[in-house]
């Protein structure tokens, strides 16, 4: 599984665990709802700025955001 797909699954997991809708998180992070949906499906490459906003919106560290993601070479 690609890193993008794993990250998307991780974002969705953290969002749902906090009881947030996509709209809630998008508003909290000041990003477009459709863009967030694409991220969760693993079809977008987020910038470090977007990753920072997501960690803030989810109230987790960047380390926590990436926890469990396997990087394959």
pLDDT digits (tens, 9 = 90+) for 24-39: 999 999 999 999 999 9
- The share of the chain scoring above pLDDT 90, in percent, equals 92
Decide: pTM greater than 0.85: yes
Q: How many CA atoms lie within 13 A of 70 on its CB side?
A: 4
- Helix then strand then coil, in percent of the chain rounded to 5, is 65, 0, 35
Is pLDDT of 73 > 80? no
The fold adopted by the segment(s) 3-66 is 434 Repressor (Amino-terminal Domain) (1.10.260)
Residue 14 pLDDT grade (very low, low, confident, very high; cuts 50, 70, 90): very high
Q: Which two tokens stand for residue 50?
A: 């977007």
Model pLDDT, residue 72: 77
Q: What distances in angstroms separate CA 48 from CA 16, 17, 18, 19, one per listed residue?
A: 22, 23, 22, 24
């Amino acid at each position: 599984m690609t890193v993008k797909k794993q990250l998307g699954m991780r974002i969705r997991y953290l969002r749902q665990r906090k009881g947030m809708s996509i709209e809630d998180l998008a508003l909290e992070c000041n990003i477009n709802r459709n863009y967030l949906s694409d991220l969760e499906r693993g079809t977008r490459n987020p910038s470090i700025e977007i990753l920072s906003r997501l960690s803030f919106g989810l109230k987790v560290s960047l380390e926590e955001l990436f926890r469990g993601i396997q990087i394959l070479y």
